[in-house]
Amino acid sequence: MQEKIGVLTIDDYISACPEDIQPKLKELRRIISNAEPEMTEKISWQMPTFYLKSNVIHFAAHKKHIGLYPGPKAIEVFSHRLESYKTSKGAIQIPNDTPLDRNLIRDIVRFNIEIR
């Protein structure tokens, strides 16, 4: 989606994405950060990553969606709330034209922190 070489921070990552998706990426970042303010941010696996003792959640911009990567246990536990999204073993695809579900994202982040 964007030039990954030279991406050092989440700000760099978002700035390298198409302008039309940047506001949604910034909103997603705020939702995740507000779920647990003690998390730190880093780039891991070339994606924005939130960390608290271990990686909590990642996200990445793609052509038609934002990938949210909470891991397989979160996908399993929240499957009933993820029925309207395309999911795989450890990923959720949020279409670019779909609003972010703040409560769902917050709950997934908090769950991932609890199980670590």
Domains parsed from the chain with CATH numbers: 10-114 (3.90.1150.200)
**For position 116, what pLDDT does the model report?**
83
**For position 8, what pLDDT does the model report?**
86
Instruction: Count CB neighbours of 78 within 10 A.
Output: 18
- Please compute the mean of the pLDDT values over residues 80-87 and round it to a whole number: 98
Edge-to-edge strand ranges of the sheet holding 47-51: 40-44, 47-51, 55-61, 65-69, 92-95, 86-87
On the question of pLDDT at 112 being above 50, the answer is yes
- Please compute the mean of the pLDDT values over residues 81-107 and round it to a whole number: 97
Q: Please report how the helices 22-35 and 102-114 are oriented relative to each other, as an axis angle in degrees rounded to 10.
A: 40
Q: Are 36 and 52 in contact (CB under 8 A)?
A: yes
29 falls in which pLDDT band (50, 70, 90)? very high
- Please compute the mean of the pLDDT values over residues 40-46 and round it to a whole number: 95
**For position 48, what pLDDT does the model report?**
98
Give SS3 for 6: coil
43 falls in which pLDDT band (50, 70, 90)? very high
